[in-house]
Amino acid sequence: MKTMLLALLALPILTPAAHASELPRYAVAIAATPVLNTPEFAKTFSGKVKLDPCKGVRPVEFVAFPGTLFRIEGEQETDGVKVYRVTTNDYPYPTKTGLFVDARFLEKVEGAPRERQRTLPEPAEIRKRLLAAVGRPYVWGGNFKEGVPLLRTLYPKGDPLYGVDCTGLLYEATDGYTPRNSSYLTRYGKGVKVAGLTAAEIAKKLEPLDLVVYRGHVMMVLDEDSIIQSVMGCGGGKRGVVVSPREETLKKLMRTREPADRYPKGSAGEKSFVVRRWLP
Q: Are 83 and 37 in contact (CB under 8 A)?
A: no
pLDDT (0 to 100) of residue 17: 47
Name 231's bridge partners.
240
Q: What are the distances in angstroms from CA 170 to CA 117, 120, 121, 182, 229?
A: 17, 12, 12, 11, 9
pLDDT (0 to 100) of residue 112: 83
Regions in the chain scoring below 50 on pLDDT: 1-15, 17-20
- SS3 letters across 17-67: HHHCCCCCCEEEECCCEEEECCCCHHHHCCCCCCCCHHHCCCCEEEEECCC
pTM over 0.85: yes
**Could you report the per-residue pLDDT of 182-232, keeping only the tens digit for each?**
999 999 999 999 999 999 999 999 999 999 999 999 999 999 999 999 999
pLDDT (0 to 100) of residue 13: 45
User: What's the gap between Cα 256 and its chain centre?
Assistant: 24
Please name the residue ranges forming H helices in 87-146.
Answer: 123-132
- Name the CATH architecture for the domain at 123-277: Alpha-Beta Complex (3.90)
pLDDT (0 to 100) of residue 8: 36
Q: Are 216 and 165 in contact (CB under 8 A)?
A: no
What are the sequence ranges of the domains in the chain? 25-109, 123-277
